[in-house]
Amino acid sequence: MNKIMLIVLAVAMIVILISLIMLLNIFHTPSAEISPTTSKPLSNVLLQGAGSSLVYPQLNEWIQRFYTQSGIKISYQSVGSGAGLSMFFQNVTDFACSDPPLSKDMWKRYEGRVMQIPWLAGPVAIIYNIPELPKDAELKLDANILAGIYNGSIVYWDDDRIKMLNPDIANMLPHKEIIPVYRTDASGTTEIFTTFLYKATNGAWSRDLVGKTVNWPVAATGRGIGGKGSEGVTQTVIQTPYSIGYVEWSYAILNNLPTASIKNAAGRFVKPSEKSVAEALANVNIPQSPLDDFSNIVFESVYASGDNSYPITAVTHIVLWKKYQDSSKALALAKFLRWVVDEGYNNMIQGYVAPPQKIKNLLLEAANILEKQVAS
Amino acid sequence: MYSWRKLKDRLFLALVLAISIVAIAPLIHLIIVTMLNGFSVILNAGLGFFTENPPTPTSKNVGGIAPSLVGSILLTALSLPITVFIALFASIMAVEFPNNPLSIAVDVVAKSLASVPTIVVSMVVYLLVVVPMGRFSILAGAIALTIVSLPYTYTYFSTYLRSVPTTYREAAFAIGMSRWRAVINVSLPIIRRGFLVTILMTMARILGETAALLFTVGRYRTGVSFSVLSPSDAIPLLIFDYILTPYKVFQEVAWGAATLLLIAYLIIFIVAKFVIKEVRL
Amino acid sequence: MISKRDKFFILSLLPFSISLLAILIITVIAITSRSIDSIAFFGIKLFTSNVWDPEHEKYGVLGPIAGSLITSLLATLTALALSIPLSILIAEYLHGAAKNFMSSIVELMSGLPTIIYAMWSSTYLSLILKTYVMDPLSKYLSFIPIFSCRVISPFTLFTAGISMGIYLVPYITALILESYNSIPITYKEACLGIGATRYETVKILLSLIKPAILASVILGIARALGETTIAVTTVGNSMYLSSCLFSPGYTVSALVASQFGNAYLYKFAESALYASSLVILGVAIVLSFTGLTIMSNWRRRVVV
């Protein structure tokens, strides 16, 4: 009896496994079968996106406005640039938002199929929590000091190098250990911040320590704390006295946190502002087509020339396919891109800067490419 | 000598009492602060808390949690029947044919499944359902929730079924009932209360599970979605995401949502208590 | 022995039992097959070094694995310290309505959604622990290595351990109560009969359920290993490896929660995550079997 049972068991098991695999394949196929002639009403379309937490507050605002005007739903998961690109390339989402553009290798792999547009700009602010300092005090920092803080060689807030830059508040700086806060998830903000450290210190901050995730030297001393997402870093800085962190400016504004002035390429100390970001952007070379390689743009846009340029300025990208199997998605995305140019940029929330005209043109061109695909 | 023993006895009681209070203090504190934080939010938001979308980080209004609320309800509605169905029949098998190799295997597997970290379930479902389907969905979330709650539901059912006295079942066989009939006509009616409580506690578990949803259900919060194949949200996931943000308005929403979840759980628990005296988890 | 009708009955039940089996098998296969890449490439170094550097494809998950074990052990010990007195109170001192009420409270705790524990732990408990426990301990007992570091953040291995411990209290209490109540009443009567006080009786009865307590500890660790929500909100999420409990750390589940999303971008990151969860999965399964075996052996011996 037991033998029969075992045979039945084995057979049934195989049947179930096969049917499970078939089930998965069934899920896999339908999206490819949709013919371009079926024109669904766009209001039934749901666009899924994921990625950068930098754009989240602004994008959320846009999504709600766009929905009331067009009926097209957009879902956006603020999971970080790395996770956003992961999901996009696994075809789980329709678009991704990433602070840094695709790396050269990545772009080569998808060349001609993927589009990117640096559609929003914003500064990365250095926030700090020093209870002794009055709210209106100006803390001045430069790349070398930030590098020292994050590699662990500058330990106390009253370090001579910090005092030298800040004669006005030198005697207010406490003899307390600095607690650097960094991102633990793969983050474009980290890439921008570390690229700035690398570019502005002439390599004193090593090339190996540049990227979306960094093996922070300060973590090995036990003084550093990791935070997940810009949310996590901001929260940690608020809760931890004598800490310092890097987040997008909007997070600093929304939480009313003091931001440091940073020394730019012209030798001036500049705070993040719409003006200082716009000036930095004006000095950056931007590729001609959304299908081009953007991988140099991070290095270009930090520590840019210009007297009043904010040195840790970053652009953040929307990443799209050139072709979508579901044509209604392509049309909806095109519509969204046009809407952003026409209306979105007139509804900026504080902390974000609308890009110059040359970038608006890129968005319109991307919309054209998407629509052309459907028409053909 | 005698009095020293008495004193020791007294001291012991005092110690036991003190530590027991420490042990349940977190529960009481937790319920009070959650309710305090959450109620004012819900009252401020009014009925909109159940019908509106969550706020943007910059907005002044709390908005609502409608997408997550609907998502949670759909997830539960989809996952609960499947879980109960599979667990019930698997446990009947294990109890009625305890010496069958398959039954033994199922019993062992249920115990192993219970020790699979729920986040691992989420990774596997992402790999096997979300990626092939090409999107996050309520279906993927419900599959993950089912896997997570199956071992628990199975354990309840088999415990209750085993508690049916053998004499009843033997009596059923004696009058010529098949095993199938005996289960339907004798065992199930005897454990009907346990059956109900199992369903309720499974529901509580599904409603409160977070980690299994991290990579499966998506985080669609800009509108209410009724389609099983499209992404949605769940209340625990919303709380998990929002409590870690620095935005005050998000934290308020999180507390409101937590209060709602807590009340839902308390209601389920009290109903279960009415049905049966002892609830074992 | 099995009649024709019953055979049909078994066949109709088969799919349900098999689906339960299939779930576990598919889970294990999926995780193992994904782990192989990184284990083959990095070998044992994956588990003996501590680095998470996807940009340079360097991975070592010693820290998170150690963190998982440390926090689980701490959690179980915390839960045990609270659960034994709570069980004694319920089993020995309370009667009637009070007893019902107290056991209801324990049952209520055990089903409470973990996200609510997580929320409460990260906003309230962590600050209380920092001010009243971690700061004083590190100040006055810093000569003990596990208390030696300065507390820079409320989110540490210690906080995670205690938070998960509170979450485990009802689970461990239920296990202990069940064993305690399964001791034949004759033992207790014998103790009281020779004039022993309550304290002495409890001492004797507790010594009888020692194996069951050991089993509860093992089962508690197994359960804490898989806990994600509480861990990720309280452990501090840092790849720092230290012998001090007051430093931020990682658990495997917290590592997965914060890294799995972006892992696809890198060649080995996903595989390394699967490998580390495979370790935790293996440990958890072995522990829960050991625990359940000890428990059922003990029960067979005592409850005749």
Question: Could you say which of B19, B115, B261 has the minimum Cβ distance to residue C226?
Answer: B115
Beta bridge partners of A227: A183
Beta bridge partners of A316: A120
pLDDT of residue B162: 87
Q: Which of A184, A209, A216 to mutate to test the interface with C (most CBs of C within 10 A)?
A: A184
User: Which chain A residue shows the shortest CA-CA distance from B220?
Assistant: A75
Q: What digits encode the pLDDT tens for the residues A134-192?
A: 888 899 999 999 999 999 999 999 999 999 999 989 889 999 999 999 988 777 889 88
pLDDT of residue A37: 40
| % of chain B beyond a pLDDT of 70 | 98
C152 at interface of A, judged by CB pairs closer than 8 A? yes
How many CB pairs below 8 A link A and B? 87
Which residues in chain C are contacts of B92 at CB distance < 8 A?
13
pLDDT of residue A318: 94
Residue C172 corresponds to which tokens in the numbers above? 């461990």
Average pLDDT of the residues in A187-202: 90
CA distance B279 to chain C (A): 6
pLDDT of residue A7: 63
pLDDT of residue A235: 85
pLDDT of residue B280: 53
B157 at interface of C, judged by CB pairs closer than 8 A? no
Contact C265 A82 (CB under 8 A): yes
Contacts of C171 (CB under 8 A, 6+ apart): B281, C79, C110, C219, C220, C223
pLDDT of residue A32: 37
Average pLDDT of the residues in A344-348: 89
Q: What digits encode the pLDDT tens for the residues C126-180?
A: 989 998 999 898 888 888 888 888 787 788 999 999 999 999 999 999 999 988 8
Query: Which residue, B280, B241, B279, is CA-closest to B258?
Result: B241
DSSP secondary structure code for residue A52 in this structure: -
Please, what's the largest Cα pairwise distance for chain C?
A: 75
Contact A28 B58 (CB under 8 A): no
pLDDT of residue B279: 55
Contact C261 A83 (CB under 8 A): yes
Q: What digits encode the pLDDT tens for the residues A246-271?
A: 998 888 888 889 999 999 999 999 99
The whole-chain average pLDDT of chain A stands at 84
A10 at interface of C, judged by CB pairs closer than 8 A? no
Contact A9 C150 (CB under 8 A): no
pLDDT of residue A94: 93
Q: What digits encode the pLDDT tens for the residues A217-229?
A: 888 787 888 887 7
pLDDT of residue A2: 53
pLDDT of residue A11: 61
Query: Which residue, A168, A131, A124, is CA-closest to A146?
Result: A124
Global pTM value: 0.85
C177 at interface of B, judged by CB pairs closer than 8 A? no
Q: What digits encode the pLDDT tens for the residues C237-252?
A: 878 787 888 888 899 9
- Lowest-pLDDT range of A161-165, C17-21, C201-205: C17-21
Question: Could you say which of B85, B115, B123 has the minimum Cβ distance to residue C256?
Answer: B123
Average pLDDT of the residues in A229-240: 85
Helix A357-375 and helix A327-342, axial crossing angle in degrees, nearest 10: 160
Q: Which of C13, C90, C259 to mutate to test the interface with B (most CBs of B within 10 A)?
A: C13
CA distance B94 to chain C (A): 8
- Lowest-pLDDT range of B243-247, C3-7, C282-286: C3-7
- pLDDT above 80 for A36: no
Q: Which of B104, B146, B245, B247 to mutate to test the interface with A (most CBs of A within 10 A)?
A: B245
Give the chains touching C; criterion: ≥3 Cβ pairs < 8 Å.
A, B
Residue B65 corresponds to which tokens in the numbers above? 């949690």
Which residues in chain C are contacts of B34 at CB distance < 8 A?
116, 119-120
CA distance C166 to chain B (A): 8
Contact A75 B220 (CB under 8 A): yes
CA distance C253 to B153: 24
pLDDT of residue A41: 67
CA distance B189 to B87: 17
User: Which chain C residue shows the shortest CA-CA distance from A52?
Assistant: C262
CA distance C243 to chain B (A): 25
| % of chain A beyond a pLDDT of 70 | 89
Question: What is residue A248's three-state secondary structure?
Answer: strand
pLDDT of residue B277: 61
pLDDT of residue C243: 82
Average pLDDT of the residues in A203-220: 86
More confident residue, A14 or C65: C65
CA dihedral C223, C229, C233, C238 (to 10 degrees): 70
Give me the long-range contacts of B102-106 (CB less than 8 A, separation at least 24): B102/A5, B102/A9, B102/C14, B102/C17, B102/C18, B102/C21, B103/C17, B105/C17, B105/C21, B106/B154, B106/C17, B106/C20, B106/C21
Q: What digits encode the pLDDT tens for the residues C90-132?
A: 998 998 889 989 988 998 998 899 999 999 999 899 989 998 9
Question: Could you say which of A80, A212, A226 has the minimum Cβ distance to residue C236?
Answer: A226
Contact A90 C239 (CB under 8 A): no
Contact A56 B245 (CB under 8 A): no
With a CB-CB cutoff of 8 Å, which residues 177-196 of chain B face chain C? 178-180
CA C75 vs CA A20, A76, A151, C158, C243: distances in Å: 39, 36, 34, 9, 17
Q: What is the DSSP string of B124-170?
A: HHIIIIIHHHTS--HHHHHHHHHHHHHHHHHHHHHHHHHTS-HHHHH
CA distance C150 to B37: 32
Average pLDDT of the residues in C233-238: 85
Contact C238 A239 (CB under 8 A): no
B280 at interface of A, judged by CB pairs closer than 8 A? no
Q: Which of A34, A184, A231 to mutate to test the interface with B (most CBs of B within 10 A)?
A: A231
With a CB-CB cutoff of 8 Å, which residues 125-144 of chain B face chain C? 126-128
Contact B154 C20 (CB under 8 A): yes
Q: What digits encode the pLDDT tens for the residues B48-91?
A: 999 988 887 777 888 899 999 999 999 999 999 999 989 998 89
C99 at interface of B, judged by CB pairs closer than 8 A? no
More confident residue, C8 or A77: A77
CA distance A99 to B58: 21
Contact A226 C26 (CB under 8 A): no
Beta bridge partners of A209: none
Contact C261 A240 (CB under 8 A): no
B215 at interface of C, judged by CB pairs closer than 8 A? yes
- pLDDT above 80 for C195: yes
Q: Which residues of A touch B (CB under 8 A)?
A: 2, 5-6, 9, 24-25, 27-28, 31, 46, 48, 56-57, 60-61, 63-64, 67, 73-78, 90-93, 228-229, 231-232, 234-235, 238, 251, 254-255, 349-350
pLDDT of residue A227: 81
- pLDDT above 50 for B206: yes
CA distance B47 to chain A (A): 20
Residue A35's pLDDT band (boundaries 50, 70, 90)? very low
